[in-house]
């Protein structure tokens, strides 16, 4: 709704370094660049470091984050992309499956900010991506930062959540 204000949590602070991976699907390059700019600004304002990875489309975002989670040591992740409704049901599939993938990662203990825009047209995407307007890239980065802070406050184990490869391979549980 136009003119409605929304509450934003204060930016978290950290006593140890924070490393975030921004994963973006740059199908709509200009939109992606604005989402990235907003995310980078929020991450840097929190004193965190970031790296950037690009994937072909929104469906690959959760896959890339899952791979990074297994092979790298990031504290959190920001998924950025834009899905614009077209003439077929492909829009629904991409929206639902990319969102479900991000949610599944979150439930598995990944600190992920979801900045995948799902819009009807390019004008809606432009407003949402623009750091000077709705700044959804910055909002996704803020979400990841808050989840990292929450995870650290609860004493998150560096071994992750659930079954680990070591446990599965050792034959003991």
Which of 11, 44, 49, 90 does the annotation list as catalytic? 90
Asked about 6 being catalytic, the answer comes back as: no
pLDDT digits (tens, 9 = 90+) for 70-122: 999 999 999 999 999 999 999 999 999 999 999 999 999 999 999 999 999 99
R_g of the chain, CA atoms, integer Å: 17
Range of the domain at 108: 19-170
In a domain, 14, yes or no: no
Check residue 4 and give its pLDDT. 76
Count CA within 13 A, CB hemisphere, residue 161.
Answer: 13
In a domain, 94, yes or no: yes
Check residue 5 and give its pLDDT. 80
What pLDDT band is residue 12 in, cutting at 50, 70 and 90?
Answer: very high
In a domain, 165, yes or no: yes
Report percent pLDDT > 70 for the chain. Answer: 88
Question: Can you give the three-state secondary structure of 101-159, one letter per residue?
Answer: HHHHHHHCCCCEEEEEEEECCHHHHHHHHCCCCCCHHHHHHHHHHHHHHHHHHCCCCCC
In a domain, 47, yes or no: yes
Number of domains, the chain: 1
In a domain, 122, yes or no: yes
In a domain, 2, yes or no: no
pLDDT digits (tens, 9 = 90+) for 137-157: 999 999 999 999 999 999 855
In a domain, 133, yes or no: yes
Check residue 99 and give its pLDDT. 97
CATH code for position 76: 3.40.50.960
Check residue 1 and give its pLDDT. 54
In a domain, 87, yes or no: yes
Check residue 157 and give its pLDDT. 53
């Amino acid at each position: 709704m136009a003119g409605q204000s929304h509450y934003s949590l204060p930016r978290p602070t950290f006593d140890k370094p924070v490393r975030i991976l921004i994963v973006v699907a740059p199908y709509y390059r200009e939109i992606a660049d604005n989402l990235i700019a907003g995310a980078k600004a929020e991450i840097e304002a929190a004193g965190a470091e970031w790296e950037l990875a690009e994937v072909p489309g929104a469906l690959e975002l959760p896959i890339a984050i899952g791979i990074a989670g297994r092979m790298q040591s990031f504290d959190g992740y920001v998924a950025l992309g834009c899905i614009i409704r077209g003439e077929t049901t492909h829009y629904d599939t991409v929206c639902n499956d990319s969102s479900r993938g991000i949610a599944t990662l979150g439930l598995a203990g990944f600190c992920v900010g979801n900045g995948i825009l799902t819009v009807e047209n390019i004008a809606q995407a432009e407003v949402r991506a623009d750091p000077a307007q709705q700044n959804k890239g910055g909002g996704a980065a803020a979400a990841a930062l808050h989840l990292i802070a929450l995870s650290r406050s609860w004493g998150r184990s560096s071994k992750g959540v659930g079954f680990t490869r070591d446990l599965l391979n050792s034959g003991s549980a």
